[in-house]
Every structure is written in structure tokens, then in C-alpha cells.
Amino acid sequence: MRGVFSRGSAKGLAVLAAGVLALSACSGSGGKEAEEDTGGEGPRLEIAMVTHSAPGDTFWDIVQKGAQAAADKDDVEFLYSADPDGGKQAQLVQAAIDKKVDGIIVTLAKPDAMKDVLARAAAANIPVVSINSGQEESAGLGALAHFGQDESIAGEAAGTELGEIGAKKALCVIHEQGNVGLEARCDGARKTFDGDLENLFVQGSNMPDVKSSITAKLQSDKGIDGILTLGAPFAATAVDSVKEAGSEARIGTFDLNKDLIALLKAGDIEFAVDQQPYLQGYEAVEALWLLKRNGNVLGGGRPVLTGPAIVTKDNAAELEEFANRGTR
């Protein structure tokens, strides 16, 4: 089910993704080669997560916290690596295959780059689940399940919100070219936004460049009255750009962190589309653990949705405690 906060109250949150798991039993302790007794459940599992994260993106810190929480509960050794370059990400997946891990969690921001290496994972009988990006491509590339939000649906929700805040001419700031999930967000927003929405590509790994690019665009086109960023750190930078350009553009974004909650409460950011990254990490680890320990497969061949949910100034305080501890 797709859960969305109604504007003005967290009470409008619908039931979110099926499968928020609450198993309390942990696997027994023991080494990879089963040197110790594991309570009849076999050797300790090793699960690798390989994402397209760029350095400094707080979103992925939240994903990792969720994954580590599930790993700690289930006595799983959790291995994390990342590279925003599709080819290098594929190399990291190959390293996990060579290590003979028990399962792989992968993002599919650049699915074409992952096709061959995921075929090699299948040939090695290593189960794969995907998270966050690449929902449409996930099953075709052999993933058993996908955990994330429907990026097109989330984009449509953001486009509606842009209209609600009165924007007529807006920017959709894409911080990683070629990322299918980010492009789907902007395309979705364009479907429901009644005004003009222009994509602005920036170099997300270089925040000064992000700021200068947004600032320059605002200075050159005074008619821009809305900005949609696709990640919390970029929203904070957009706030600085608006001030520097002397613009009155209003800002919405995807994703949360503790700084973003403060900006929502202050009114500097109008709304955030939350996909609950903690759940993506947690459920992915739990899904692989369940598969190995009990033959379960979540989702029934359909994506397990973790969002979207709309957060505004009116309900941001309800999430502040969780954001401050780095889990929202």
C-alpha cells in the first residue's frame, strides 16, 4: 500500500509497505565456516550491500543504520560498499560474489551497468534483492524483491505539492545524471504540476557547484518561483541559493535528515517526500535472512513500498526525535 501523510497532520499516514518485520528470534552465533554451534540454523550469514551512494550523502547513513539494526538482531555480518559510478559499483558487486557472501543487496540507479554482474551472482547461486532505485528493472535483472518507493508515484505527489505551495515555474534539480530513479521523480512531478517544470542538472558530489548552478539559474530567470530538489542535502543548499539570489522561490524536496526537519519547522522548506530509507535497509537484510533461514520471499513478485509520505511544517516535529538520532 502507498502511505502518504495528508497535509497538516501525520494522522493521515496510510499503512505503509507490507512486511515491516518484527521477528524477535536471532540466528545462533558462529563463524562463516560454522566452527561454532548455531542452534541448528547453520553458519552465520554474510550479507553485502552495494549502493550508488556518493560520499557525504546522509540518506545512505540512514539506509545503513536500518540494515545494521536488522543484521544485529539476526546475527548477520553486514558488509557495505558504494560507488556512484555504475561500472565501479558493478566491480564492488563482483567483489562480493568473489567473497561468496550469502546474499547481496544492490541499488539499480544505472541498471544497464549492473546487468552482467547480477547474472554472475545468479550463476553463483547468490540471492539478490534491490532497494531504492530501479524498481522497474529489478525483477528483469534477477532480484527476488525490491524495497523502496515507486519513484513515479512519489514524483506525482511532489508535483501536486508544488502546486499546493503556489509555484508556477519551477526547477527540478537532478544531482546525478543517468540515475533512472531521479529522472522518474522529475517526470512524475511534471505530470501533476500545472506549471512549467524544468530539469536542472548539477554535479551532486560538488556542493559548491550545486549552489552556484542553482543561484545562477535563479539570477538569470526571475520568474522561477519553485524548486524541487531530490535529496535533503541539496534542499539545504537550495535555501542558501535562494537567499543569495534574492529570490522568493519556495522549496520542496525528497528525503529527510535532522537538518531538513529544522528547515521544515522554520518554514525554509515547504515539504519533503519521505521514502523511509531506514526501512529499505532493514527490510532488505531481513528479507535475505528469512530466505536463507526459512525459504520466505517477500513481495509476491511486486515491489514492497516504503513510501512516499509527505512531511510539512505541521507534522515535522513528530519526526524530530527520530531524525535527530539518524533513523528518519
Q: How confident is the model at residue 39 (pLDDT cuts 50, 70, 90)?
A: very low
Please report the pLDDT score of residue 301 as a whole number.
87
Predicted local confidence at residue 57, as pLDDT: 83
Q: Are 162 and 189 in contact (CB under 8 A)?
A: yes
DSSP state of 10: G
**pLDDT tens-digit series, residues 161-196:** 999 999 999 999 999 988 999 999 999 999 999 999
Q: Say whether pLDDT at 276 is over 90.
A: yes
% of residues, the chain, pLDDT over 90: 84
Q: What residues have CB less than 8 Å from 79, skipping those under 6 apart? A: 46, 47, 48, 49, 96, 99, 101
**Is pLDDT above 90 for 90?**
yes
- Apex 257 CA angle, 148 and 176, nearest 5: 60
pLDDT for the residue numbered 251: 98
Q: What is the predicted pLDDT for the residue at 58?
A: 85
Strand partners, 312: 271
Supply the DSSP symbol for 9: B
User: In the structure grid, which three cell numbers stand for residue 244, read together?
Assistant: 543569495
- The cell for 91 is 566491480
Give the pLDDT of residue 74. 97
Q: Cβ(128)–Cβ(104) under 8 Å?
A: yes
The predicted model gives 216-236 an average pLDDT of: 97
Q: What is the mean pLDDT of residues 96-123?
A: 97
160, three cell numbers: 501536486
pLDDT in tens, 313-327: 999 999 999 999 999
Please say if the pLDDT value at position 213 is more than 70. yes
Strands (DSSP E) contained in the chain are: 46-51, 77-82, 103-107, 128-131, 146-148, 169-174, 196-201, 226-229, 250-254, 271-274, 304-305, 309-312
Per-residue pLDDT band at 31 (split at 50, 70, 90)? very low
Read off the DSSP letter of residue 275: -
* Distance from C-alpha of 311 to C-alpha of 42, rounded to nearest angstrom: 43
* pLDDT value, residue 41: 66
Average of pLDDT values for 137-164?
97
Range in 13-22, 272-281, 282-291 the model is least confident about: 13-22
- pLDDT tier for residue 55 given thresholds of 50, 70 and 90: confident
CB 123 within 8 A of CB 187: no
